Structure 1
């Protein structure tokens, strides 16, 4: 009698397979299914719809690997690993086409489910003690948008704008985020046009339970804005002023040490941006309009929280 020892030598444990196995273990599928199920069509007439868990898994595959709707449809045919992860059988099993994938994405956007997905994931992380919520770090990053007018409308995206950073001009949007100062996990996401100043949305990034907030020099004067005076703001000294500090002077040396400590805490906010732009390759907007792109960024950062916390989730 041949024993099955669970060793499938015909399947190589590639990095992509390892990644999907890790994410499959940490994504709270049951809670997300309960969240989405009330909004999913029941399919009382016509062709039965695909299972919403299958469509959710396909949607997450798009975010992880930067696939458009047509590219996702083709990948389900070309990459058996993707079909396996989505729970689609082999052989004669029908696969979702690009229109079905697009409609599911529009369903999530119409009901604002990206923000709710982030909230559900953060609830799970809070239950594991990963978000202390007594301090936050706020920051923003520029996301470029296509500036070409060679499209159906013959114009650039009207909701995107240009701004200057340093000596370079950018056209696109900003992703503003608030992260936990201890864990670096994202708790708030807001998308605006690139020309919106960071200070204007700082108060909206706070969850209301923090006592201290850390920000870079771009947030100078934030404590004077309405809705931001309930917490203690730790804003970085301007680079020009810091360069004038005399390290041989005792008081200036203390100021420089304080700035170093604040910078060490602010560094937490760079980790989600690295995951967004490097891990999941989101360097340019993929849709027209702020709402669609903000929903995608929110979903990616929610999944990024799980990626950052995966090792801790394994151990508990």
Structure 2
């Protein structure tokens, strides 16, 4: 198809923006065929009456852009009209066609939620990464982060989300949910995800975050006593849990104390990798607050977010593996 004048003008511009570079990286590393194959059995074929559905890859690309830029359905539709970079990524030429609207994206999101397809997308991405040798699976780091939810009661029912709860972190109370993740200790990529209310203690989800092939598991001080829990007694793993901060501060300057301090420092350096996917989801994708009501919808979104976060974290390795120039 012949390019429009606006596309040619955009392609000829001298400066490549950060959004251009980011979308080009996502374009290059996403296993589009694998993701469309996962969704295709559930996507309408358009054989009946009414308006034919938007092409699967096109609406999937619109959904990916929405997650990577932290946009609502309406804001994603607006972005297609405002940003040539996003239009180019999705494959829309406004001179020939209208952009898919917010309702179309909403229906696609509901389709993903109804068939647990965001988890399938997450698994398909990880299968792709495993084929490239990026998930080594010998060690796992477990951790959790709070995702805030709107605490306001200024709505029709006059109530907060019943599935969200309060949790105290330090001296501050937070209302929302938790994203519990299991991360490959070598690559720092997320292999397991569980969403719960914020008041669920981290240690109760530790076993659910293991894939079963690891020999060592690392966790912060919130996982103290994890090896004594009934569900973990028979697990063939070694738990490496951080010492409580108060106990670590009390270490003396003896040879034993210095050795224990070095051991804690070594464990902390390994655990640091778990912060990378949290950084991508919260800072790069701007997902700091639950967008929807209920745990199911928000957990479904988290599977998509952490799946795409894995691609962002692995993009340099993937480009090298595919013989491309790493960004």
TM-score by length of 2: 0.92
* 2:238 matches 1:235: no
Instruction: Give the match's secondary structure for 1:138.
Output: strand
Q: CA deviation at 1:89?
A: 2.5
* 2:65 matches 1:61: yes
Instruction: Give the match's secondary structure for 2:136.
Output: coil
Q: Give 1:100's match in structure 2, choosing from 97, 104, 115.
A: 104
Pairwise CA RMSD: 1.3
Number of aligned residue pairs:
309
* 2:201 matches 1:194: no
* Segments of 4+ moved more than 4 angstroms: none
Query: What's 2:271 paired with?
Result: 266
Q: CA deviation at 1:151?
A: 1.9
Instruction: Give the match's secondary structure for 1:173.
Output: strand
The 2-side partners of 1:228 and 1:115 are apart by 25
Query: CA offsets, 1:125-153, max 9 Å, x none?
Result: 11111111000000001111111111233
TM-score by length of 1: 0.95
Query: CA offsets, 1:133-188, max 9 Å, x none?
Result: 00000000111111111123321111100111111010011110000001100001
Q: Which runs of 5+ in 2 are unaligned?
A: 1-9, 322-327
Query: What's 2:18 paired with?
Result: 15
Query: What's 1:25 paired with?
Result: 28
Query: What's 2:87 paired with?
Result: 83
Q: Give 1:204's match in structure 2, choosing from 189, 208, 213.
A: 208
Larger deviation: 71-80 or 104-113?
A: 71-80
Instruction: Give the match's secondary structure for 2:230.
Output: coil
Q: CA deviation at 1:117?
A: 1.0
Q: CA deviation at 1:85?
A: 1.0
Q: CA deviation at 1:8?
A: 4.2
* 2:314 matches 1:309: yes
* 2:38 matches 1:35: yes
Query: CA offsets, 1:248-287, max 9 Å, x none?
Result: x111111111111111111110111111111111111111
The 2-side partners of 1:101 and 1:253 are apart by 57
The 2-side partners of 1:224 and 1:110 are apart by 37
Instruction: Give the match's secondary structure for 2:98.
Output: coil
Q: Which runs of 5+ in 1 are unaligned?
A: 1-6
Query: What's 1:50 paired with?
Result: 54
Instruction: Give the match's secondary structure for 1:227.
Output: helix
Q: Give 1:167's match in structure 2, choosing from 155, 167, 171.
A: 171
Larger deviation: 76-85 or 291-300?
A: 76-85
Q: Give 1:253's match in structure 2, choosing from 229, 252, 258.
A: 258
